[in-house]
């Protein structure tokens, strides 16, 4: 065992775990004060439900089970992690693996990826869905969507670099850390659910302002920090690829933050904190599939392009009439799709501009389209089933009164109580 690699991968898993609380603050600051606890709880459910499902059969479907058609692994081989854990003298440790660090660390790392992916979705459906329905959705979506998608891309499946699509075109599909598996997947799922459950009361006729912009900035900074585990950890070792992924990730995020800000300044006359936070995240999303294969120059260019496109894309929901509450489609969908496709232009030695070959571009477009189709169909089936059985929405009165009170029975801020106590002290 290489203890250096083991230590780095455990650290990376912990950094990626931090990203879901980071998303909780990022999204939590964007919603109105009457819905912030519910948003934090939705993210808590993403962590907890995913951890159970991944332990039971998610790991097996994605990585441990015998591949079925290159789409998913059987859920039995690695059920309850029996392929990865072994008891020795009453103490559990990792089973023998071919890697240079224990397989249990891979389980930990991939668990956190599943957590953050499903956690991204709830930003689109903020302020109006039942916590109980969300928990059921997480369990079903991780089982039937995320785990198979991870298998297809990262376990020699249909969308992998050695899969059937890549072999047919003659170029290896590339998704370093989750342009398709994480960002396109989550954004398409978010859009499908939004179209099924409908808009919030007042969407398009009244402003929905973020209640705590410092929360949003804190979440964005936590996400940037956690992304070093997300991207650099996807090198699966303490090596040069990990180091370069750190550098390219930072360059792209910085470029996207600036390009988003410049775009905003031209359009509105201001450089906003909300724009800075969203630009950071957009750049991180865009570089995710490409962090190991684009040069420093192209990482900056990629980030700048993503920042501009995502900034413009976030306004589409008002023109097209879908209520994506916190711009999951605009940031993660457009950012993930752009980063995935731009590998076909900027990929070192293979891209159209950095290698003179058109085949990489074709394969990147195809895997993105297949990911969109798969996520859309599977999510639609799950979301429709839940809509027709347990239902997604809280009542209109509960939504207007505040979903925190309706679902959690709590308030994030006891303004009335604070005011009352101050008056008593004055008297």
Tens of pLDDT, residues 312-368: 999 999 999 999 999 999 999 999 999 999 999 999 999 999 998 999 999 999 999
> How is residue 129 written in tokens?
């869905």
Closest CA to 182 of 29, 39, 349, 50: 50
Indicate whether 417 pLDDT > 60: no
| Percentage above 90 pLDDT, the chain | 90
DSSP annotation of 236: -
Which residues, listed in sequence order, are joined to residue 92 by a DSSP beta bridge? 87
User: How much is the mean pLDDT over the chain?
Assistant: 95
Q: What is the mean pLDDT of residues 90-100?
A: 82
Angle made by CA atoms 115, 120, 123, in degrees to the nearest 5: 135
Q: How far apart are CA 228 and CA 213, in angstroms?
A: 24
DSSP annotation of 34: G
Provide the pLDDT confidence category of residue 276 given band limits of 50, 70 and 90.
Answer: very high
pLDDT of residue 86: 87
pLDDT of residue 422: 41
| 41, 131 Cβ separation under 8 angstroms | yes
| 79, 55 Cβ separation under 8 angstroms | no
Contacts of 92 (CB under 8 A, 6+ apart): 85, 86
Q: How far apart are CA 6 and CA 387, in angstroms?
A: 44
Which residues, listed in sequence order, are joined to residue 91 by a DSSP beta bridge? 88
Q: Is the sign of the CA dihedral 127, 129, 130, 136 positive or negative?
A: negative
> How is residue 2 written in tokens?
């290489």
Q: Which three-class secondary structure state does DSSP give residue 330?
A: helix
DSSP per position, 269-323: S---HHHHHHHHHHHHHHHGGGTTTS-HHHHHHHHHHHHHHHHHHTTHHHHHT--
> How is residue 341 written in tokens?
């496709």
Q: How far apart are CA 264 and CA 236, in angstroms?
A: 37
Contacts of 315 (CB under 8 A, 6+ apart): 330
Q: What is the mean pLDDT of residues 268-276?
A: 97
Q: What is the pLDDT of residues 7-39, one digit of tens each?
A: 999 999 999 999 999 999 999 999 999 999 999
Which residues, listed in sequence order, are joined to residue 129 by a DSSP beta bridge? 393
| 392, 135 Cβ separation under 8 angstroms | no
């Amino acid at each position: 065992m290489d203890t250096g690699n083991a230590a780095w991968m455990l650290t990376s898993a912990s950094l990626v775990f931090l990203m879901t609380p980071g998303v909780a603050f990022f999204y939590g600051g964007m919603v109105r004060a009457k819905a912030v606890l519910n948003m934090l709880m939705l993210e808590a459910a993403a962590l907890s439900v995913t951890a159970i499902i991944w332990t039971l059969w998610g790991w097996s479907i994605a990585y441990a089970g015998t591949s079925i058609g290159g789409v998913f692994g059987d859920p039995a081989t690695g059920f309850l992690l029996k392929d990865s854990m072994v008891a020795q003298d009453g103490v559990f440790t990792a089973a023998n693996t071919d890697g240079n660090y224990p397989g249990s660390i891979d389980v930990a790392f991939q668990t956190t990826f599943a957590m953050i992916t499903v956690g991204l979705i709830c930003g689109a459906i903020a302020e109006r869905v039942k916590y109980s329905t969300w928990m059921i959705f997480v369990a079903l979506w991780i089982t039937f969507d995320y785990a198979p998608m991870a298998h297809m891309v990262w376990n020699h499946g249909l969308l992998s670099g050695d899969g059937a699509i890549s072999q047919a075109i003659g170029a290896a599909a590339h998704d370093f850390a989750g342009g398709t598996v994480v960002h396109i997947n989550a954004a398409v799922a978010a859009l499908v659910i939004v179209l099924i459950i409908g808009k919030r009361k007042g969407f398009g006729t009244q402003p929905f302002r973020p209640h705590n912009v410092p929360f949003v900035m804190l979440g964005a900074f936590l996400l940037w920090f956690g992304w070093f585990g997300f991207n650099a950890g996807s090198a699966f070792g303490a090596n040069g690829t990990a180091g370069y992924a750190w550098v390219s990730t930072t360059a792209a995020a910085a470029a996207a933050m600036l390009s988003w800000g410049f775009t905003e300044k031209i359009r509105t006359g201001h450089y906003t904190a909300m724009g800075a936070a969203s630009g950071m995240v957009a750049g991180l999303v865009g570089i995710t599939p490409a962090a190991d294969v684009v040069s420093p120059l192209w990482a900056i260019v990629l980030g700048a392009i993503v920042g501009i496109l995502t900034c413009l894309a976030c306004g589409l929901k008002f023109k097209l009439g879908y209520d994506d509450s916190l711009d999951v489609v605009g940031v993660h969908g457009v950012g993930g799709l752009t980063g995935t496709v731009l590998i076909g232009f900027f990929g070192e030695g293979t891209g159209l501009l950095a290698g003179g070959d058109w085949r990489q571009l074709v394969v990147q477009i195809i895997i993105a389209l297949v990911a969109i189709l798969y996520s859309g169909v599977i999510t639609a089936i799950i979301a429709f089933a839940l809509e027709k059985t347990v239902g997604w929405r809280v009542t209109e009165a509960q939504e207007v009164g505040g979903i925190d009170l309706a679902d959690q029975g709590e308030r994030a801020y006891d303004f009335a109580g604070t005011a009352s106590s101050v008056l008593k002290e004055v008297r």
